[in-house]
Amino acid sequence: MTAFYMTIGYILLAPLLGGLIMGVDRILTARMQSRYGPPVLQPFYDVFKLLGKQNLTVNRYHSYYLVCFLIFMVLSGSMFFAGDDLLMVIFAFIVADIFLVLGAYSTNSPYSSIGAERELLQMLSAEPMMLLSAVGFYMVTGSFDVSEIASSDKPLILYLPGVFVGLTYVLTIKLRKSPFDLSTSHHAHQELVKGITTEFAGPSLALFEIEHWYETILLLGMVYLFFAFSPILAVVLTLAVYLLEVFIDNSNARIKWELMLKSAWLVTLVLGLGNLLVLYFVLQM
């Protein structure tokens, strides 16, 4: 029954928590840029306003792909907080991103197509590190189940420091923050044409924003696992990691995709894979 309640809790509460985090994100971003910034509930106001607008779509497949994108994102998060297999969570997460890419390609818009290609590059940059994180959790706890990983009394951060740093690095990609916000900008004021979401309007764009809230909570949940041996400390440090991402977002300009791909794979191989190799030899001793 605990898994059931956790699933329902994620479905109902993740948009609320995600929206509040986005509101705080905007305020912090404004302060860093010497602006006053919007109210903390502004993301909710924006979504409600978008839901009240006319739903303009290029074709029916555009809407279908977007709905499937949201369904699989909610599914992956539900599986995570229900304590299911972390590999299945990541695979469902990847499928969700694929539906977003298909939705962008279905519009035949050059801006959306470029955004879709960059989204694929971001997936290629970030997903290997996420998979290595799951492997690292397994090596320490002996299980891929999130429930087993979260209930472990072992301080995973001490076993997997390189994996943690690598995951934090690619988290910037998955959260769509500078310098890796190539497929679409996280903040609307940063550009007029928003890449992969160029053809989203009204309720469609609202669904994308809600999905981002679900995605943010899922990604922060993965960070939480490194400190799960102490729940209070885990919450504090998880929020600290997000604050670090906000700082990075506001202190770096967007880079080219070649540098993103090379740097992400370098971090994955050196920190991620290197950490796992060292851990393997230590466990064999």
What's residue 158's pLDDT?
Answer: 94
Q: Quote the pTM value.
A: 0.92
How far is the C-alpha of 38 from the C-alpha of 30, rounded, in Å?
A: 8
Please tell me which residue, 3 or 98, carries the higher pLDDT value: 98
Whether residue 285 is predicted with pLDDT greater than 80 in this model: the reply is no
DSSP string, 11-38: HHHHHHHHHHHHHHHHHHHHHHTT----
Instruction: Give CA torsion, residues 65, 21, 47, 183, to 10 deg.
Output: -40
Largest CA distance in the chain: 64
Q: What percent of the chain has pLDDT over 90?
A: 62
Please tell me which residue, 256 or 237, carries the higher pLDDT value: 237
Position 177, amino acid: K
What's residue 120's pLDDT?
Answer: 92
Q: Encode pLDDT of 155-210 as tens digits.
A: 999 999 999 999 999 999 999 888 888 888 766 555 545 678 877 878 888 888 89
Residues 6+ apart with CB under 8 A from 132: 163, 166, 268, 272, 273, 276
Split at pLDDT 50, 70, 90, the class of 71 is very high
C-beta separation of 198 from 53 below 8 A:
no
What's residue 188's pLDDT?
Answer: 55
DSSP string, 187-233: SGGG-SS-GGGTT--THHHHHHHHHHHHHHHHHHHHHHHTTTTSHHH
Q: Which of 17-31, 122-136, 197-211, 235-249 has the lowest mean pLDDT?
A: 197-211
User: From its phi and psi, is residue 108 left (phi > 0), alpha (psi between -120 and 50) or beta?
Assistant: left
Please tell me which residue, 55 or 216, carries the higher pLDDT value: 216
Mean pLDDT of 37-55: 88
What's residue 214's pLDDT?
Answer: 95
Which residue is listed with tokens 């740093």? Answer: 165
Q: Encode pLDDT of 118-155 as tens digits.
A: 999 999 999 999 999 999 999 999 999 999 999 999 99
Mean pLDDT of 55-61: 74
Task: Taking each helix axis as running N to C, give the angle between helix 86-105 and helix 203-225, from 0 to 180 degrees, rounded to the nearest 10.
Answer: 150
What's residue 190's pLDDT?
Answer: 54
Position 235, amino acid: V
How far is the C-alpha of 266 from the C-alpha of 9, rounded, in Å?
A: 37
Q: What percent of the chain has pLDDT over 70?
A: 96
Q: Where are the domains of the chain?
A: 2-284
How far is the C-alpha of 85 from the C-alpha of 232, rounded, in Å?
A: 24
What's residue 1's pLDDT?
Answer: 57
How far is the C-alpha of 74 from the C-alpha of 15, rounded, in Å?
A: 10
Mean pLDDT of 256-275: 93
C-beta separation of 122 from 99 below 8 A:
no
What's residue 55's pLDDT?
Answer: 75
